[in-house]
Amino acid sequence: MTATIPKTRPSDLQLLGRLKGLAWLSSAQLKNLVDSMTTRNVKHKDVIFEERGARSEDTYIMLSGTAELRRVDGTRSRVVAIMSPGVLFRMPMMAPGVEHTFRWIALSDCRVAQLTTNSFISIGLGVRPADFLKLADWENERRGYLMGRYPSFLGLRLQGRVAVALLELSGEFGVQETRGILIRVALTERQLADLVGASRAKVGQVLRDFQRMKVVIREGHLLAVVTRRLEAMVRANRRIAA
């Protein structure tokens, strides 16, 4: 009988080196990041980090797994992004009147690194953190106003918003197949409804319409999309909304 060799888990340095968003860093920079960060395993549905009233002072890097970003409003919360491994961005300060409470939650078992943002800037950019943050804080303020009014200025009907969400997810998790781009994460209608600000029933109807139009193809629990047709649908939806 041939003995099976147990699989060895990749090191944190190996996981860090696989991230597309940090591919421009040198081997020395990656090693410095590993030396400066702490890591932990986060179970499915556990909170990775939360920003309540202010931006996080640390930078978080998801080395493996999938996470969702939720905006929390009192006892209710809404999914606003679903992310693959990489840097989990800090939210900008919101415009006046918009509550700043965001929560990153693990959608699968995740490996997460954490280090001070100052260390991340110094190692990754090679500049003084104080100088970089002067520019970043100014841009964050502008982005906060943008995000605060985002639902009102987007100007898309529900069909267009669902199309945009599927295009975003195909870019984040997609792999090319014969019939389209397969989104390699199982999405519930509730998650998609949260992403576009609509009810689950209405989003379910849009998905069924998309299937009849052969813009979306179901592959078991996953979805495949024909991106060029979705893009054309978004353009047409914008013209109708205008």
| 50/230 Cα distance (integer angstroms) | 33
Chain centroid to Cα 200, Å, comes to: 20
Mean pLDDT of the chain: 85
Q: Which of 48, 65, 60, 63 is nearest to 18 (CA)?
A: 63
Residue spans of the domains in the chain: they are 12-152, 154-241
* pLDDT > 70: percent of the chain: 83
**Model pLDDT, residue 242:** 46
Determine whether 32 is exposed, middle or buried from the number of CB atoms within 10 Å of its CB (0-12, 13-18, 19+): middle
Alpha-carbon gap, residue 89 to 218, rounded angstroms: 31
pLDDT interval class at 115 (50, 70, 90):
very high
Other C-beta atoms within 10 Å of 56: how many? 18
Is CATH 3.40.50.970 the classification given to domain 154-241? no
Q: Hey, CA dihedral for 218, 224, 226, 229, is it positive or negative? A: positive
CA nearest to 63, candidates 50, 48, 51: 48
What stretch of H or E contains 181? strand 180-183
Question: What CATH homologous superfamily does 12-152 map to?
Answer: Jelly Rolls (2.60.120.10)
- pLDDT tens digit string along 119-134? 999 998 888 877 777 7
